Structure 1
Amino acid sequence: MSCGASYQTEKSETETTARNQRRSRTKFTEDQLNILIKAFNQTPYPGYATKQKLALEINTEESRIQIWFQNRRARHQVQERLEHEKDLEASQDQDHPEEKIHGREDRRCRTSYTSSQLHTLITAFTNNPYPGIDSREQLAKQIGVPESRVQIWFQNRRSRFHVQKKRERDELLQHKQDQERNL
């Protein structure tokens, strides 16, 4: 192997490691947590505007608020499940207000991408379907959207990709079975 090839391999491994790094853990102060907990107790599913207001109030990104609420709801649901199992006979028909379906006004507006933005995202996906925070932030800056939207785009794209691959495998299997029957 030549020196150039060795350098390329080392550089490639370094870039891959940097690309796949996770975002550092967000640490909230006690005051910030009190504000978040109070908001969660009022509504565990805040709308986009509420999350933006909270982000301004505690001086952090809206995407970090969104993740905090997701994690808090997950923890809250686990605790509720444990409590529910303890008194299952007494509360068979207990209502769970946190499971109600929310209206569209609570949702974030759908993000529309231009053809050039999509081309950039698809190219990046082809190179690496699991980009790290650094890569996502660079892509976000390049195409002019928040990093959280790039993250969601990759999640959705991976999901579609897996569904498409499964469909192709099923169709191929069906085609083989049809051919065997015709023989």
Structure 2
Amino acid sequence: MGQDSPSEKTMATKCRRSSTSFTEEQLKILVQAFSQNPYPGYTAKQRLAVEINTEESRIQIWFQNRRARHGFLKRTEKNLDPSKDHASPKEKIQDGRDRRCRTSYTSSQLQTLKNAFTENPYHGVDSREQLAEEIGVPESSVQIWFQNRRSRLRIQRKRGLEEALDQRQNQG
């Protein structure tokens, strides 16, 4: 698996989701929600999405980006004044009652996802949306499935390499 050709890079760039521009009013609502809870659960993000008329996935990304910027500022403050006590992100995360439901796939849905993964493990948003519509699940679930499958593949490859090295050492 070598480097991507220029045409493959262009294809990946074309499939990239466009950035979201929020209005002043939407930002005001998001900032207020963030100040109350920087780690909202799935249902809270859904309510916000309905309130500001956008997708839950856009809300999720906004919170991730905001936490990244906010976390950097907190680390800077902490380094300047070690006496300040900041709660860790894990302490702020709720106890799991507000999580997204686990997606169960039928065997035909799984077969469609596996076939698509075999063709290309890095699908752009357009093809993920098409796949999601085809199998009847949200695009975000398809995205998570692909992330998890790529992760599992990396782990399997790593284990295979380790086992091969162990066999060589045992033989020699």
Q: Structure 1: which 5+ runs fail to align? A: 1-12
Please give the alpha-carbon distance, in whole angstroms, between the structure 1 residues aligned to 2:160 and 2:56: 38
Counterpart for residue 27 of structure 1:
21
Indicate yes or no: 2:142 matched with 1:150. Answer: yes
1:59 paired to 2:59: no
TM-score (norm 1): 0.84
- Identity over aligned residues, as a percent? 62
Task: Give SS of 1:106's match.
Answer: coil
1:111 aligns with 2:142: no
Greater alpha carbon shift after TM alignment, 136-145 vs 100-109:
100-109
The count of corresponding residues between Structure 1 and Structure 2 is 164
Q: Contact 1:21 / 1:132 at 8 angstroms: preserved in 2?
A: yes
Once the two structures are overlaid, the 10-residue window that deviates more, 100-109 or 130-139, is: 100-109
Residue 39 in structure 1 maps to residue 33 in structure 2: yes
For residue 90 of structure 2, the aligned residue among 90, 96, 99 is 99
1:49 corresponds to: 43
**C-alpha distance in 1, partners of 2:20/2:13?**
19
Q: Deviations over 1:10-62 (max 9, x none)?
A: xxx58x81796200001111100000110111111111111111111100011
Alignment partner of 2:154 out of 154, 162, 167: 162
Give the alignment's TM-score, normalised by structure 2: 0.89
User: Are the counterparts in 2 of residues 23 and 133 from structure 1 also a CA contact under 8 Å?
Assistant: yes
Q: CA RMSD in A?
A: 1.8
Q: Secondary structure of the equivalent of 1:178? A: helix
The answer to which structure, 1 or 2, has the higher relative contact order (CA under 8 A, 6+ apart) is 1
- Larger-gyration structure (1/2): 1
Q: How far apart are residue 95 of structure 1 and its match?
A: 3.6
* Partner Cα separation in structure 1 for residue 152 and residue 111 of structure 2: 17
CA deviations on 1:69-109 (whole Å, 9 max, x unpaired) are 11111111111111111123x34xx2415331421202111
Provide the rounded CA distance (Å) in 1 between the counterparts of 2:96 and 2:89. 16
Runs of 4+ with deviation above 2 angstroms: none
Distance 1:168 1:55 in 2: 43
Which residue number corresponds to residue 166 of structure 2? 174
